[in-house]
Amino acid sequence: DLYRKVFVFRKDPSDAYVVLRAKLEQPLQNFTVCLRSYTDLTRPHSLFSYATKAQDNEILLFKPKPSEYRLYVGGKFVTFRVPEGHGDWEHVCASWESATGIAEFWLNGKPWPRKGLQRGYTVGVEAAILLGQEQDAFGGGFDVYNSFSGELAEVYLWDVGLSPDKMRAAYQSLYLPPAVLAWKSLVYEVKGDVVVKPRLRK
């Protein structure tokens, strides 16, 4: 249970990462991924990387620059332009549904205009799920200049699209539905220089 705790990725650039273990029975037609990040990086960095043997960017939440987030599904991506952060925690949720190809992006509890991505696609299950690095091969192939440095917390993955109420609940750290990956019952393995510490502020 990582309640009120964070992963601190201490180095920049870094070769460290955290492997997450998820119980996925069947391929994903829908998903929502949420997390909080706290960093002063201005270079590109990966926040959440979900790779299968067939596709290294099966699901990827990536920040190429301070004013932009990218959501990848099955190797294709959409871009969400955001105001540059003010050196504070940023909470992001991204959801996608295969039936419509609609991608939703929420930043700090507010929705951005929806975009279209990979309609009819199915996300594979045999996945390597990593925090802190972007996979260019299954479970590896890292470029340190895409690595994350800073603090990550409250990482979740659902196999459904969350409702707007639940998106706001995730931002407010309220009660959430059972997840495939849940911060309060996370099965993880640290590789390299990552430290679990109490969160300094709300």
What is the domain-level CATH number for residue 24?
2.60.120.200
Structurally, how many domains does the chain consist of? 1
Range of the domain at 123: 5-198
For every residue of 6-70, DSSP letters joined together read: EEEE-SSS---EEEE-----S-BSEEEEEEEEE----S-EEEEEEEESS-TTSEEEEEEETTEEE
The whole-number pLDDT of residue 120 equals 98
pTM exceeds cut of 0.95? yes
Q: Tokens in use for 80?
A: 């969400």
Give residue 202's pLDDT band: very low, low, confident or very high (50, 70, 90). Answer: low
